[in-house]
Every structure is written in structure tokens, then in C-alpha cells.
Amino acid sequence: MSGKKASRAAATEKKGKVLEIGAVVTNPGSSFENKTGGWRAMRPVWNKEKCTQCMICWMFCPDMAIPQKDGKRGETNFDFCKGCGICKSECVFGAITMEKEKK
């Protein structure tokens, strides 16, 4: 489901629901349902061979789209990557290149 559709589905669901007092949100981290990957015009491509696992891209990703597990970088999460290109600019080893997003 694309980001737009998901947010529309959430809105219809909201109509039938009674809000909490003070409109309190009781589900922590629920923005996870909002897939922002649809905003992307450029796609970062990760070259595993050039990567030295320095984690600079992980630190500077504003969308938490680059996961780290046990000190190792994981595959980019394209559900959330907005394609800003910070990872490409900050990678000292040239392990990330930007490509035009395909439909």
C-alpha cells in the first residue's frame, strides 16, 4: 500500500473511532504506518564491496531508512527513504550512488 492510500485508509478508520480524551495518541511509534518512500525521486544504491561499515550514513539518515544491526549496515529501507541524498554526500568511500527512481 502506498503512503497516500495508507493515510486515506487511516482517515476513514478514524471517522468510525471515538477519540481519546485530549486526543491522546496511545500507540507509540505508530508513524511507522506512514510509508514516506513514495516521495522519492532519486534512489540511493549501496555498493557492498566499497562499504567499510563506518556507519556515517546510518547516523545522518533523517528517516531511519538505513538500519544497523550488531555494528553492520543493513539494506536500505525503501519504505521510508525520501531520497534526500545525504548518505551519498557523506559517504567518504563513494559506496553510495544516486539513481533515478523507476516507476
Partner 1 sequence: MINALPERELFAPGHSACAGCGAPIVARIVLKIGGPETIVCNATGCMEVFTTPHPRTSWKVPWIHAAFENAAAVASGVDRALKKLGTRDRTNLVILGGDGGTFDIGFGALSGMLERGHKATYVCYDNEAYMNTGIQRSGATPKYANTTTTPAGRSVHGKTEFTKQLPFIVAAHGAYTATANVAFPQDLADKLKKSFAFNGPSYIQVFSPCPTGWRHPTDQSIEIAKLAFKTNVYPLYEIENGILKINRKPTQATPIEEYLMRQGRFKHLTKEEIADLQQHVNADWERLLKLEESGLRIF
Chain residues binding partner 1 by CB under 8 A are: 10, 14, 17, 19, 23, 25, 27-36, 39, 54-56, 58-65, 68-71, 77, 79-80, 82-86, 88-90, 98
Quickly count: other Cβ atoms within 10 Å of residue 64's Cβ: 12
Least separation in angstroms between residue 98's CB and partner 1 is 8
Identity of the amino acid at 14: K
Residue 91 makes CB contacts below 8 A (sequence gap 6+) with 56, 57
Least separation in angstroms between residue 45's CB and partner 1 is 14
Least separation in angstroms between residue 59's CB and partner 1 is 5
- Burial of residue 95 (CB within 10 Å: 0-12, 13-18, 19+) is buried
Nearer to partner 1, 28 or 102 (CB): 28
Cα separations in angstroms, 84 against 18, 33, 42, 75, 80? 37, 20, 8, 17, 11
Nearer to partner 1, 27 or 49 (CB): 27
Nearer to partner 1, 34 or 47 (CB): 34
